[in-house]
């Protein structure tokens, strides 16, 4: 990209300025409308990112932003404006155009080898994508917490021990101060209980509560699992240690044992 073009891209500071320079990013949207403003703004700037850097990952982000915009518009399009009656028509047109853009983006990403996009296609019912994703098991392409969670979701009904290992591995991949996916913690709490690893389940409940994702009251779990006060004290310390290591990007499965 030339320095001149880069400078052109970087000068915009407001959405209005961006739309003036690149009207194709905005003309089909319900601009100048209070409904769906946050989602619309996010979509416009993501389209701009695609314009600057049209990679599969950026297009996937545009797809996600478009779906969020659609979710909002599907509600907004049903609202009868008390003034400016044409707004409903504009919203409906924006909605239909967004549907078309989802179709376009899905088509453009249909051959992507990005594992996150492959998983998305699998989640949409693409059986070939499922096989592509599973073929990546054990390879560095899947070495992220969310993709390990995705892999675990496949094995949950087939191999609970393997699922458990994958969830622990997912936690070990977090770097310092990264936000932990709540579903990993909740899944570990549930799976531990199902496998009769009651002390581990108690620890994950404590951690979930500390992360503001309560799955149950710790005292109720302690009572249910018949934990003594001394056992609770030991497990509380272990939970604090695990939480500290998670936040510092140093989690290892052996910490739970």
For 8-17, how does the pLDDT look when each residue is reduced to its tens digit (9 = 90+)? Answer: 455 668 999 9
Cβ neighbours for 145, distance < 8 A, ≥ 6 positions apart: 170, 171, 173, 174, 178, 180, 181, 184
Residue 130 lies in a domain: no
Same-domain check for residues 175 and 224: yes
pLDDT of residue 31: 94
- Of 112, 127, 151, the one marking the end of a domain is 112
pLDDT of residue 220: 73
Residue 138 lies in a domain: no
Residue 231 near residue 199, CB atoms below 8 Å: yes
pLDDT of residue 130: 97
pLDDT of residue 12: 64
Same-domain check for residues 32 and 104: yes
Q: What would the pLDDT profile of 187-241 be if each residue is shown by its tens digit?
A: 999 999 889 898 999 999 999 988 888 676 666 777 777 888 899 999 999 999 9
Residue 137 lies in a domain: no
Torsion on CA atoms 115, 120, 126, 132, rounded to nearest 10: 10
Residues of the chain with pLDDT under 50: 1-8
Residue 70 near residue 124, CB atoms below 8 Å: no
pLDDT of residue 178: 96
pLDDT of residue 3: 39
Domain that holds residue 83: 3-112
Number of domains within the chain: 2
Residue 131 lies in a domain: no
Residues 102, 114: Cα–Cα separation, whole Å: 18
Same-domain check for residues 165 and 106: no
Same-domain check for residues 76 and 158: no
Same-domain check for residues 105 and 156: no
Residues 255, 239: Cα–Cα separation, whole Å: 9
Same-domain check for residues 205 and 108: no
Tokens of 100: 């078309």
Same-domain check for residues 164 and 91: no
Cβ atoms < 10 Å from Cβ of 183: 16
Query: What is the DSSP track for 102-165?
Result: HHHHHHHTTT---HHHHHHHHHTT-HHHHHHHHTTTTSGGG-SHHHHHHHHHHHTTT-HHHHHH
Residue 233 lies in a domain: yes
Torsion on CA atoms 53, 59, 62, 67, rounded to nearest 10: 180
Residue 135 lies in a domain: no
């Amino acid at each position: 990209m030339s320095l001149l073009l880069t400078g052109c891209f970087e000068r915009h500071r407001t959405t209005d300025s961006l739309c003036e320079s690149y009207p194709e990013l905005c003309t089909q949207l319900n601009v100048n409308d209070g409904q769906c403003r946050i989602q619309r703004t996010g979509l416009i700037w993501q389209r701009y990112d695609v314009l600057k850097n049209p990679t599969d990952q950026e297009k996937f982000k545009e797809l996600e932003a478009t779906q969020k915009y659609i979710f909002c518009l599907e509600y907004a399009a049903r609202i009868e404006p008390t003034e400016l009656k044409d707004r409903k028509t504009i919203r409906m047109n924006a909605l239909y155009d967004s549907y078309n853009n989802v179709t376009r983006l899905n088509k453009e990403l249909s051959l992507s080898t990005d594992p996150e996009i492959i998983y998305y296609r699998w989640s949409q019912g693409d059986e070939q994508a499922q096989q592509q994703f599973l073929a990546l098991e054990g390879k560095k392409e899947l070495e992220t917490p969310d993709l390990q969670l995705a892999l675990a979701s496949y094995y949950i009904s087939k191999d609970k021990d393997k699922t458990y290992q994958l969830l622990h591995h997912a936690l070990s991949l977090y770097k310092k101060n990264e936000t932990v996916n709540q579903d990993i913690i909740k899944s570990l709490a549930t799976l531990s209980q199902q496998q009769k690893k009651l002390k581990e389940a108690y620890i994950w409940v404590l951690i979930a509560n500390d992360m503001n994702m309560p799955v149950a009251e710790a005292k109720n779990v302690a009572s249910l699992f018949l934990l003594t006060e001394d056992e609770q004290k030991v497990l509380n310390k272990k939970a604090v240690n695990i939480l500290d290591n998670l936040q510092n990007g140093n989690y290892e499965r052996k910490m739970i044992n």
